[in-house]
Amino acid sequence: MNEILVIGHRNPDADAICSAIGYAEFKRRTGMPEAVAARCGDTNERIDFVLRHFGVPAPRFVADVSPKVRDVMRTSVVSVPPDATVAECLTIMDENNIRVLPVLDDRRRCRGLASVFKMNQYYLPASNRLFDSRRVLAPLNAIAHTLNARLLHAVAADREEDLTIMIGAMSLDSFTVRLDKFPPEKLIIVVGDRLDIQFLAVERRVRCIVVTGGLTVDRRIVELAQKHQVSLLLSMHDSATTAMLCRAAIAVRHMVEEQFLSFSADVHLATARRRAVESEFQVFPVQDEAGEMVGILSKSDFLKKVNRQLILVDHNELSQAVQGAAEVEIIEIIDHHRIGALTTQQPILFRNEPVGSTSTIVADCFLRHGLDIPQPIAGLLLAGLVSDTLNLTSPTTTGRDAEILRRLEEIAGLNAAAFTEKLFSSGSVLTSRTPAQAVTSDCKEYTEKGRRFTVAQIEETGFDQFWRRKSEVVQALETWRQQSGLSFSALLVTDVATQSSLLLIAGNAEILSLIDYPEREPGIYELDGVVSRKKQLMPYLAHCLARLG
């Protein structure tokens, strides 16, 4: 089944979540039923408030879209238990046109692989092992089942034994000479209606006599077999077929290749493919953490196309996209940020507009197509819009944002100003999250002049919570920089009430020397009137880095 994920950036904000849900609804309404809203990061208190308020579930969490083993494995596994006979195994292989079968125990753990190659070696042994062609390792019950034979008399039929087949197709004198060469308790005599050979075999107390051809067995033979505790089977097949099928009664556990290569369903397909190509195996069990088999792969399965496509919303750079985005097809991008370095295999729909939020663009899609916006979706898009534009007060705001917001207010039956106040008072990131979580909340990665860095933004009502936890937040930002191998990491703490921000920078002295905003404390700068990461802070940081050359 084709899967199209409509997904925002890592560490999503309200606009990323709301626009993903809204655009997935739009795509389904315009002929793309496979479109599903997704997210690749955790929600926060404000996002949860929005989703609860409009009664909409959070988008599906997808941490990694890289093709995995689970995407191409076959979950309908044809298998056999260890005690299945080789005859049963070969029948299943023939019916399913396969050459290798996993052997599973009662807990569905793979005990090995049964292959046609291995069984051919058993049926057609090398010339120096011809004696093996007469060996039967099986209980009498399994032999009877394989032959579809009638048990006229059976002794210890469930006991697995190592027996030898002898066919009574010669004169009585010749048969007597041959019979003397083997322990009688280890012999299975396959014979037609030769009464003389039948009587001699019973009198010598062989382990079992198989009378072939479906012929009537003399009552005296049956009585004598019961007296001497000789098992007696009646086969409908001829002697040659009977002898061959007797050998097929061996349990498949004696045939398995116990060494095999297996994978977890979550292993990257590229990794599994590389290991599979380097191996001698043709089939690979797929097991879960408990060792239970959940699927199977053959080398041909690696040729399958993974039908997963992406629609990116609220971002257009792979550094901000869900992990594995570069390994699958991106078919659309809906965004309002600067255009980064992203290439695609073929032309795509790329709608990038200089408006205050991606939710504005998504709402516009509905309106341009003359589609009614469901009330909950209108509410979500309103929430994304006022969150990203601080209710139209951000410098990123355009006339189109204001126009769309008025339409969304009408459809959702909301007052944007009142809703915005509830939204920003619904939770403080600095109160509800650990410092480590706070500095990566709504965090985006950039590369400028060969330097990789991140800029996170959190919006608060006042700076009181920040100053209370300043030391912890500053330390967490530096720890994040070091762990991520960044040139520097930045955190913009925005007061939505005063329309001003504090900028924290974790980096070396060279980077800090570039910042010419008022410095409140080492590494903490006062940015009066700066509330937009996209339109105000990022151009400023790019300018600073350009000065380094």
Closest CA to 339 of 328, 354, 325: 354
List pLDDT tens digits, range 147-172. 999 999 999 999 999 999 999 989 99
CATH number of 3-67+307-424: 3.90.1640.10
Query: Is pLDDT at 336 greater than 90 in this prediction?
Result: yes
First to last CA, the chain: 50
How many angstroms from the chain centroid is the CA of residue 191?
Answer: 57
Name the pTM for this structure. 0.70
Instruction: Tell me what pLDDT residue 344 has.
Output: 85
Position 126 scores a pLDDT of 60
The Cα 195–Cα 301 span in angstroms is: 57
Does position 515 have pLDDT exceeding 50, yes or no? yes
With cut-offs at 50, 70 and 90, classify the pLDDT of residue 127.
Answer: low
* Helix, strand, coil share of the chain (percent; to 5): 40, 25, 35
CB 467 within 8 A of CB 458: no
Count CB-CB contacts under 10 A for residue 513.
Answer: 11
Phi, psi values for residue 434, rounded to 5°? -70, 160
> What was the pLDDT predicted at 347?
92
Buried (b) or exposed (e) across 489-501, using 16+ Cβ within 10 A?
A: bbbbbbbbeeebb
Q: Which tokens belong to 112? A: 């090995």
* Domain 70-121+254-303 of CATH type 3.10.580.10: yes
Which helix (H) or strand (E) segment holds residue 211: the answer is strand 208-211
For the segment 85-107, the average pLDDT, to the nearest whole number, is: 92
pLDDT in tens, 374-425: 999 999 999 999 999 999 999 999 999 999 999 999 999 999 999 998 998 8
Q: Is 541 helix (H, G, I), strand (E, B) or coil?
A: helix
Sequence spans of domains, the chain: 3-67+307-424, 70-121+254-303, 140-248, 433-548
Tell me: pLDDT of 306 over 80.
yes
Which of 11-25, 103-117, 123-137, 342-356 is the least confident region?
A: 123-137
Closest by CA position to 242, among listed 269, 211, 273? 211
- Looking at every residue in the chain, the average pLDDT score rounds to 92
pLDDT in tens, 252-270: 999 888 899 999 999 999 9
Q: Please name the fold of domain 140-248.
A: 3.40.1390
pLDDT-derived band at 44 (thresholds 50, 70, 90) equals: confident
287 within 8 A of 297, measured Cβ to Cβ: no
DSSP E strands in 414-499: the ranges are: 443-448, 451-460, 488-495
Specify whether the backbone of 254 is left (phi greater than 0), alpha (psi in -120 to 50) or beta: alpha
Helical axes 86-96 vs 116-123, angle rounded to 10°? 130
Task: Evaluate if residue 130 carries a pLDDT over 50.
Answer: no
* pLDDT value, residue 128: 54
Residue with tokens 């197709």: 169
**Coil, strand, or helix at residue 418?**
helix
pLDDT value of position 129: 53
Inter-residue contact 473 to 491 (CB < 8 Å): yes
Query: Per-residue confidence at 535, pLDDT binned at 50, 70, 90?
Result: confident
Written out in words, the top-level CATH class of the domain with range 433-548 is alpha beta
Q: Tell me the C-alpha distance between 50 and 393, whole Å.
A: 20
What gap in Å lies between CA 395 and CA 303, rounded to an integer? Answer: 50
With a cut of 90, say whether residue 357 has pLDDT above it.
yes
pLDDT above 50 (res 511): yes
